[in-house]
Amino acid sequence: MASAQDAAPKVVLVGNPNVGKSVLFNALTGAYTTVSNYPGTSVEVSRGFSTISGTRYEILDTPGMYSIMPISEEERVARQILLDETPHAVLHVIDARNIERMLPMTLQLIEAGLPVILVVNILDEAKRLGMHLNLELLQQNLGVPVIGTVMKRKQGLAELQQAIENYASVPHKTFTYGRDLERDIEKVVAAIHGEYRLSKRATSLLLMQKDSDIEELIKASEDPESLSGLNSVVKDIAFERRADLLLQISLERRKICKQVLEGVITQVDKVTEAFSEKLSRWTMNPISGLPILLLVVYFGLYQFVGGFGAGTLVDFLEGHLFEGYINPVVVGFVEEQVKIEWLFELIAGEYGLWTLGIRYSVALVLPIVGTFFLVFPCLKIPDIFRVWPCWLIACSSKSGSLVGR
């Protein structure tokens, strides 16, 4: 028997990491939510309920994803939710500042036939950077509802709730790729006989990109005869196009996004870039990033943490302050009060509570860990260390699988 929870229409939040999905989820659901691991994984999915004009909706917050073609486990879970559930609406949350980079996933979701509402969040920061976005034009070009929000201040929440309430499924626009790609998509679509949660067009593109989960899904659902026909069509296309398919799909999507965004973004006034933004940009650039990384490691870690923290500070605290002043007072006091030798050793002996527990943690560990944590955020080390591995992976990925998504 279906429970009340099963009966509630579902609203699924998807989008890149750090775009405000969880802030939106909290604004929609309030205090009572559950967080659980997605079955068979360690990835957390939050669920909660929201009542809009008397109708109770179940809201799902998914982990960040860059594309509906997954690479990481988080992305796989987010995509699986889209495959498992039958959502009333899929809220694609994007960062207004990076609209051009995030819009290709909106196209993928629309192409998949999902009931998309585009939530353009972080409009406050976009405005501060002098960006003006014509969201009505974007809505017209995309053919799905587009809502602008500043979720940090709950701006746009009422409009979004209204859009969820009023969501009515209408046939989506088709965004057309180049002629040869369209010809291949058509061939695969014609060879798929079953009905799937994602549209045949999206399923074809994922099959052409060798998406293993979709291959499994198809294997389990198609009858053997149509499966072998489909396999040979996909194999022929993959052989014909070899390495350039992922890249071509990605480039064509970007081209479509450019057309969709024509006239949408206007740079009103160029604001001066804050120093933190400049620093962030420099650390992300391979040319300036490497010298900055070396400077941070040399001055920040070696000189400041190693030289100043572990050298000067430790010498002063341990050698001067504790050895010269505090220790004689404490040890003298304990000696006077405690006449049992083993108890004295336990409190103030070489391996006693005072020596190992307090003196060493304050005089040895604190200066080293303290200086490390001072230098860690100040010099934006996280950005530097995060970007370099990504850059190296991107360079070594010859087939362009990172750019091709």
Minimum CB distance to Mg ion, residue 386 (Å): 18
Minimum CB distance to ligand GTP, residue 148 (Å): 10
5-44: contacts with Mg ion (CB under 5 A): 21-22
Q: Two tokens at 367?
A: 């200066």
CB closer to ligand GTP out of 125 and 323: 125
Burial 151-172 (b: 16+ CB within 10 A, else e): beeeebbeebbebbeebeeeeb
Helix (H, G, I), strand (E, B), or coil: what is residue 340? coil
Whole-number Å distance between alpha carbons of 120 and 335: 69
In the chain, the amino acid numbered 268 is V
CB closer to Mg ion out of 24 and 375: 24
Residue 319 CB neighbour total at 10 angstroms: 11
Q: Binding residues for Mg ion, how many (CB under 5 A)?
A: 2
HSE (CB half, 13 Å, CA atoms) of 145?
A: 22
Minimum CB distance to ligand GTP, residue 299 (Å): 29
Task: Select from Mg ion, ligand GTP, none the partner in contact with residue 306, using the beta carbon and a kind-dependent cut-off of 5 to 8 Å.
Answer: none
CB closer to Mg ion out of 41 and 162: 41
Minimum CB distance to ligand GTP, residue 97 (Å): 9
CB closer to ligand GTP out of 22 and 355: 22
CB closer to Mg ion out of 38 and 322: 38
Q: If we measure between CA atoms, which residue out of 152, 197, 206 comes closest to residue 21?
A: 152
Helix or strand (DSSP H, E) at 253? helix 244-260
Which phi and psi angles does 47 have, rounded to 5°?
Answer: -130, 145
Whole-number Å distance between alpha carbons of 61 and 13: 5
**Dihedral over Cα of 327, 329, 335, 338: its sign:** negative
Minimum CB distance to ligand GTP, residue 151 (Å): 4
Task: Select from Mg ion, ligand GTP, none the partner in contact with residue 148, using the beta carbon and a kind-dependent cut-off of 5 to 8 Å.
Answer: none
Task: Select from ligand GTP, Mg ion, none the partner in contact with residue 161, using the beta carbon and a kind-dependent cut-off of 5 to 8 Å.
Answer: none
- Which region, left, alpha or beta, applies to residue 43 given φ > 0 means left and ψ of -120 to 50 means alpha? beta
Minimum CB distance to ligand GTP, residue 22 (Å): 3
- Site of interaction with ligand GTP (CB under 6 A): 15, 17-23, 63-64, 121-122, 124-125, 150-152
CB closer to Mg ion out of 17 and 319: 17
* Residue listed under structure tokens 């000696």: 335
CB closer to ligand GTP out of 18 and 55: 18
In the chain, the amino acid numbered 108 is Q
Minimum CB distance to Mg ion, residue 63 (Å): 7
Task: Select from Mg ion, ligand GTP, none the partner in contact with residue 202, using the beta carbon and a kind-dependent cut-off of 5 to 8 Å.
Answer: none
Binding region for Mg ion (CB under 5 A):
21-22
